[in-house]
Structure 1
C-alpha cells in the first residue's frame, strides 16, 4: 500500500494535535502552503515529512497551490487527503486527473462543505466539486444534512467535527478550582459573562453591550470580561462608556497564557457570542462554561453544534438585542445548578470534539 499524501492551505497551530495523530497513524507526506493570515501557525518540522508550497492568488477568490497539480502522477501515493476548498483550482485539477487517469487512487476532502446560504451557482459548483471526491469529511452534521438536501450522496459524506489541544486542556481542567478573581476585580457578585477571541465587528460584541444595558434597566446586572483585542476594541470601549456600563466591562486584552485563560473561563458563568461562535464554543465548554449564540445556522460556524439547547448553552434570534437580553436572563433563571451545566459541557467536548474522535472517523474511511 502506498503513502498517504496530505495537502493543506497552511499548518494551523490549533490543528497540531490532530495532525500529529495522523502523522503517527499513517505513512504520510504533508504539503502546506505558506501562512498569510493572522492565525497562528505550527512548525511544519513537528511532523515527519513536510514540504512547503506557494499559495498563489489568481483572479478574484481563485487560488493555485504550486507543485500540487503533479502529485497525482507520483507513484508513491495512492490516497490523498486534501483541504476541500472549491476556489483552489489545483485541487480541482487533482480531482479531475484522478477521475480520468488514476481510477485506483482515492481523494478525500476535508472541508466546511455546505453553509446553507449558497446561491444556485455555488450549489452547482459544490455539487460537482465534492462529487468528484471519493469521500468528504465535513466539520459538522448540519453541513452533511444541507448537502443531502441538495442531492449529495449520503454515503460519501461524514461529519468529523473540530478539535483543539484536548489532552492539554483536560490536564489544565483537572487543576482548576473556583477563585474570587471576578469578585475582586468588579467589587460585586454579579454573574460573569465572557467572550474570548478577536474583537472584530463580525462578532457583534456591540450587541452584547446593548443587551447588558437593557438588562440594567430591568434591574438585572452582569459583569463581562472580553479576552482578546482587535479592530473593534476602541469602538467597544467607547460604547461601554456611552451606555454607562464601563465598570461592568473588563477589557482584559489578548492573553496567550493557557493557564490563565482556563481559569478565567472556568470562573465565568456564560460565554456570549452574538456573532458566529466558531472555536470559542469549544474553548469555553472544555472548561465548563456554556455558550449563548445566535440561531441563524447558515451564518454560523460548525462549532455551534456543540451547543445542546438548555444543556450546554442556548440560542437567540440573530441580530435582536432584546432577544439576546432575554436569552441571558432565561439562562440564569432556568439553570441554577452551575455544576450540572459544567459537567454537561465537559461531556459534549470530551465525547465528540477531540483529536482522538477525529482520528477514529478518519480511520473508518481511509483504509
Structure 2
C-alpha cells in the first residue's frame, strides 16, 4: 500500500503508505519456528492449571490489573502507581508515544531496531528519526544524543537490541541520559532483560532506583522469558504521572483476566522459569560460537536470538534456511534474526549457516575476518 487512492474513505496519507506490522512467519509441523523470539518451552503445569481455572470469561477483567501491579510493585520496591500493565510492552510503548508526540514532534530510536518503532511514531503523527547502529550492530548513543532537537519528545533505547543482539552498557546509558533534556521521555525497552548475562549491561531498575532521571520509563514483558507470548501481557515501571498519561491513551480492558492470572502464576514459578532462561542463554552462546566458527560475523548476542548480517544476500540466505525447515526472520537488505529455539534446531542452524556463508562475496560485511569480530 502506497497511497489512499483505492481506499473508500479518507485516510491519512502517511497511514495509507504505512505497511502493517509483519510478524514472524508460522512454521509447519515439520519445521522449526525461529522467527518470533518465542520461548521454546511449554508453559509450566502451574501456569496451565491457573489458566484452566480462569473460566469467568463472561466477566470483564480488572481494567488496572491491580493484583499484578501490586505484585510487581513489591518486587521492584515502588508504589503501585509506578507500575502500568498493558497488552504486551509494545502496547505500552504505543501509549507513551501517543501521549508525548504529535505532528511536528520527533521520536528518536536506533536503526535497525524493533520494527514497530517507526510506525508508532507515524501513527502518532510525529516524525521518526532513526540513528544508524555502529558497525558492530550496537546503539550509537553519542549520535542519538546529537540528534536531539527542540522537537524531540521521546527517545527509545532497546537493550538488548532487537534484532541485532548487543546490549547498551550501564556506563553508556548513564552518560547518555544526562544529555537528554529532563522533559523528554526516555524509554528503555528491556523486553529481553532476563536473558542478559553480561554484567556491564544497563539495568533499568537501577536507573529508576537512583531517582535522578524521572523522565526514564522501563519496559519489560512476560512474553519472552516467561513464555506468555500468546497472552500478551507486559509492564512499565516509571514516574506515576508519566504512566498516568500512558493509561489515558490506552484501550480499556485490553489485558485479559487470563493474562493477569498467568503472569501471577509465572511469578510464583519464577525459579523454574529462570532455570529455563539460563538454558536458553547457554544454548544461545553455543550457537553464537558455532556460527562464528563457520565464518559468520555474529554480533554479541544477549537476547534469545542471534543476528546474521547477510546484507544484500538476506533473502536468498533466508530461503536456504526455509528450505531446510528452519523458519527465520529476514529483514531485506540488512540481515537475518534467528531465535534460539529447541535444542534439536541448533545443529541444523549451524549446518545451513556453514553452507550459505561460502556463497557470500569476498569482503562481505557478514564474513568474520578476524578473531572477535
> How does the TM-score come out when normalised to structure 1?
0.28
Please identify which structure carries the higher strand content.
1
Greater C-alpha radius of gyration: 1
Normalising by structure 2, report the TM-score: 0.28
Q: Which has the higher helix share?
A: 1
